[in-house]
């Protein structure tokens, strides 16, 4: 450890307060931790200006005295890390972890005292800190009623925030708000804002394990308090003996895209605990899915049943012909008839409908080189799911399935569990109980070499590093809202998600709707509010190691030229760079494919999307390797394209380019550009 790089001071002032300071490796970010007035607190500055003012730390408990006032700094340790690690799949293969750390211990003498440590890490792109509460007398059974962590935003009256409400019935599936920060009510994280100096900040958490999710409550104007989603009995978190909390994270950047080009969430998670994960497979899939959302087919049995053996074979043929790895089949199992939305008790996860022959489809898929992708909708009855989980995963493993999409459709606060005494309890999707339940499914699935794509999930906090079979999740409004949502996703939705939800991790958004006219075009119908070129750009912009081609096969066959991009684009990357963008306005990404399967590892891709405003963005191609020549295969909005009435106007052209070129991307209203740079 080179202490010279770690600016750490202990100063005694007149009030005998102690202070610890830690700076980021590039010295732009500085965290100050103090016990002034015997109340532990911290502040954060960026480029010598405060971003977070003095903010409280601590806890309140049901049984024990609070960890609030009267605590002073009794120990300080420091550390410095400069290392690299490899992702089995991801936005980039190699992740750099470079940070300075200070761990500050606060203590108060007994009786009614205690001790705890707060570990702070300063990275160039932000800050992480967590509580570590050691084993101590009187703290055998702990019920946390409140975490006292605050984020007091500097000059909050001049900041703009982008956020969705927390503790709502629709979980994370809300249209994002753009408001003065002071108008943000109880909000989910990632909570992104821009302060008076134009500095972009996003508050979130990393490694949420055996704890309640943190949402932010603006109790006083400008001061966001950590608010832990409680159990049905009102307790926030239940622990025994020593415990650590998830990392509270504050990403900080001069520009909006700096938030995206940061790996602190992953770096604050623990390394892979699963060992060899070569069985976790990124890839592309189609599925018996969109037809149900636009009412062409049904999940339940009957004439319009989507999940038939015959229909699945048709999808498997299509997948094999056009290079998809898997076919998702929803509605294959007993329980969908009747009001499945409100009755998860009746789902069987092992018994198929009569017209779905799982053994035959396993055989057929193996012959075609296409895998069945499993589906388990619980409708929020997690006890019913838990009781069948082992058998259900074993059945899928036997059926050559390597990926399952799970679903927890239920109103927020309405997850049904049956407790040890047989009493029905209702929990939140983001309380400690469900945090553990989701992870239980991941760990059990790993034993069967299955990857999980969770819908209606707990938010992502980077656990894919530790459990790489947690391959994707929903956790925001996906494409499905364009089929039936009120309203459908607005044109700014994607450039909004890029700087908010997507900071947390991959999303199974399900891009690629080619027929937007299922209810007619125009501005007032349910449909994707985008151009066709923007649907293609989603494959590069919305990172996920698994990407669906969500539309019906016939709609791809009707537009073969545009469909070519979906066939070409990979889902695993050697490198990813957010090149330009503003929150909710536009965003441009470049990504280089990672060598695997049919991908040589030489091509680059670009995706650009805009909100309701048409715009032209000049992009320097200096991310390409100098001296190398590429054929740019460009899929862009045509001259007459605008999302409302002429979304299909697309222009596909080829150009020879090198790193010295600049491309002028002309995006229509809610338009986009998708480019493959083919190395030649």
Q: Which residues make up the interface to ligand NOJ (CB under 6 A)?
A: 289, 330, 377, 407, 409, 455, 474, 480
CB of 73 to Ca ion, least distance (A): 46
If the CB atoms of residues 325 and 480 are measured against ligand NOJ, the closer one turns out to be 480
If the CB atoms of residues 330 and 357 are measured against ligand NOJ, the closer one turns out to be 330
Which of 427, 480, 492, 593 is catalytic? The answer is 480
If the CB atoms of residues 238 and 455 are measured against Ca ion, the closer one turns out to be 455
Measure Cα distances from 76 to 9, 18, 21, 43, 119 in Å.
10, 10, 10, 17, 10
CB of 174 to Ca ion, least distance (A): 12
Binding mask 438-457 for Ca ion (x = CB under 5 A): -----------------x--
If the CB atoms of residues 45 and 454 are measured against Ca ion, the closer one turns out to be 454
Quick one: what does residue 330 bind among ligand NOJ, Ca ion, none, with the CB cut-off 5 to 8 Å set by partner type? ligand NOJ
397 is catalytic: no
Give the residue carrying structure tokens 């007459």: 640
Beta-bridge mates of residue 202: 192, 251
CB of 455 to Ca ion, least distance (A): 5
Q: How far apart are the first and last CA of the chain?
A: 46
> Is-contact 344 406, C-beta < 8 A?
no
Burial group, residue 51, by CB count within 10 angstroms (0-12, 13-18, 19+): buried
If the CB atoms of residues 67 and 289 are measured against ligand NOJ, the closer one turns out to be 289
428 vs 473: CA distance, rounded Å: 17
Measure Cα distances from 214 to 146, 237, 239, 415 in Å.
11, 11, 16, 18
CB of 339 to ligand NOJ, least distance (A): 13
CB of 330 to ligand NOJ, least distance (A): 5
If the CB atoms of residues 238 and 293 are measured against Ca ion, the closer one turns out to be 293
> Is-contact 380 409, C-beta < 8 A?
yes
Quick one: what does residue 23 bind among ligand NOJ, Ca ion, none, with the CB cut-off 5 to 8 Å set by partner type? none
Quick one: what does residue 377 bind among Ca ion, ligand NOJ, none, with the CB cut-off 5 to 8 Å set by partner type? ligand NOJ
Quick one: what does residue 511 bind among ligand NOJ, Ca ion, none, with the CB cut-off 5 to 8 Å set by partner type? none
Query: Among candidates 328, 281, 373, which has minimal Cα distance to 594?
Result: 281
Q: CB neighbours of 589 closer than 8 A, spacing ≥ 6?
A: 540, 541, 576, 577, 578, 579, 606, 607, 608
- Binding residues among 453-492 for Ca ion as defined by CB under 5 A: 455
If the CB atoms of residues 196 and 409 are measured against ligand NOJ, the closer one turns out to be 409
CB of 526 to ligand NOJ, least distance (A): 15
> Is-contact 231 452, C-beta < 8 A?
no
CB of 289 to ligand NOJ, least distance (A): 6
Query: Among candidates 353, 366, 350, 361, which has minimal Cα distance to 297?
Result: 353
b/e sequence 374-396, b meaning 16+ C-beta within 10 Å: bbbbbbbbbbbbbebbeebbebb
Helix (H, G, I), strand (E, B) or coil at 175: coil
Query: Among candidates 151, 145, 148, which has minimal Cα distance to 116?
Result: 148
333 vs 301: CA distance, rounded Å: 10
What amino acid positions are annotated as catalytic residues? 480
Interacting residues with Ca ion (CB under 5 A): 455
């Amino acid at each position: 450890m080179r202490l010279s790089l770690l600016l750490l001071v202990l100063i005694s002032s007149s009030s005998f307060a102690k202070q610890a300071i830690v700076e980021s490796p590039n010295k732009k970010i500085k965290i100050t931790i103090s016990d002034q007035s015997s109340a532990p607190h911290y502040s954060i500055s960026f480029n010598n200006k405060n971003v977070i003012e003095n903010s409280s730390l601590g806890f309140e408990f049901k049984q024990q005295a609070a960890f609030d006032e009267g605590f002073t700094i009794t120990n300080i340790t420091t550390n410095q890390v400069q290392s690299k690690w490899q992702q089995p799949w991801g936005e980039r293969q190699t992740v750099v972890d470079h940070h300075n750390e200070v761990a500050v211990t606060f203590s108060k003498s007994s009786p009614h005292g205690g001790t705890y440590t707060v570990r702070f890490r300063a990275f160039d792109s932000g800050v992480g800190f967590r509580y570590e509460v050691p084993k101590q007398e009187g703290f055998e059974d702990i019920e946390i009623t409140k975490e006292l962590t605050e984020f007091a935003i500097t000059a909050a009256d001049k900041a703009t925030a982008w956020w969705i409400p927390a503790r709502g019935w629709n979980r994370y599936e809300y249209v994002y708000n753009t408001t003065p920060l002071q108008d943000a009510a109880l909000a989910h994280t990632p909570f992104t804002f821009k302060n008076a100096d134009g500095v972009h900040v996003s508050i979130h958490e990393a490694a949420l394990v055996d704890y309640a999710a943190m949402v932010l409550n603006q109790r006083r104007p400008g001061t966001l308090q950590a608010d832990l989603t409680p159990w049905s009995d009102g307790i926030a978190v239940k622990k025994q003996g020593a415990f650590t909390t998830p990392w509270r994270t504050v990403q900080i950047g001069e520009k909006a895209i700096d938030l995206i080009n940061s790996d602190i969430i992953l770096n604050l998670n623990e390394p892979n605990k699963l060992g060899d994960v070569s069985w976790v497979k990124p890839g592309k899939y189609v599925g018996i899915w969109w037809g149900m959302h636009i009412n062409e087919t049904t999940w339940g049995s009957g004439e319009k049943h989507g999940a038939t053996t015959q229909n699945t074979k048709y999808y498997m043929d299509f997948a094999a012909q056009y290079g998809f790895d898997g076919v998702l089949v929803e509605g294959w199992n007993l329980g969908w008839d009747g009001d499945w939305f409100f009755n998860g008790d009746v789902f069987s996860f092992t018994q198929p409908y009569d017209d779905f022959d799982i053994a035959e489809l396993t055989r057929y898929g193996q012959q075609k080189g296409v895998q069945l992708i499993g589906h388990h909708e619980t409708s929020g009855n997690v006890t019913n799911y838990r009781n069948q989980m082992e058998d259900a995963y074993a059945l899928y493993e036997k059926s050559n399935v390597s990926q399952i999409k799970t679903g927890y459709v239920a109103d927020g606060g309405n997850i049904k569990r049956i407790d040890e005494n047989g009493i029905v309890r209702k929990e939140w999707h983001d309380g400690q109980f469900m945090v553990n339940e989701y992870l239980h499914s991941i760990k059990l699935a790993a034993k069967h070499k299955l990857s999980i794509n969770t819908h209606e999930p707990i938010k992502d906090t980077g656990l894919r590093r530790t459990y790489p079979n947690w391959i994707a999740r929903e956790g925001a409004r996906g494409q499905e809202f364009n089929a039936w949502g009120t309203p459908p996703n607005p044109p700014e939705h994607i450039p909004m998600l890029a700087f908010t939800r997507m900071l947390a991790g991959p999303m199974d958004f399900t891009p690629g709707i080619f027929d937007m006219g299922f209810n007619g075009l125009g501005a007032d119908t349910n449909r994707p509010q985008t151009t066709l070129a923007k649907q293609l750009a989603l494959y590069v912009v919305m990172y996920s190691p698994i990407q669906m081609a969500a539309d019906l096969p016939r709609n791809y066959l009707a537009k073969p030229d545009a469909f070519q991009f979906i066939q070409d684009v990979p889902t695993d990357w050697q490198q990813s760079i957010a090149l330009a963008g503003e929150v909710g306005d536009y965003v441009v990404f470049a990504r280089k494919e990672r060598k695997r399967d049919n991908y040589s590892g030489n091509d680059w891709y670009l995706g650009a999307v805009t909100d309701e405003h048409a715009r032209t963005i000049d992009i320097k191609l200096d991310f390409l390797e100098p001296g190398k020549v590429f054929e740019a295969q460009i899929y862009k909005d045509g001259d007459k394209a605008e999302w409302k009435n002429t979304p299909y106007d697309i222009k596909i052209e080829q150009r020879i380019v090198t790193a010295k070129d600049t491309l002028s991307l002309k995006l229509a209203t809610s338009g986009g550009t998708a480019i493959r740079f083919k190395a030649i």
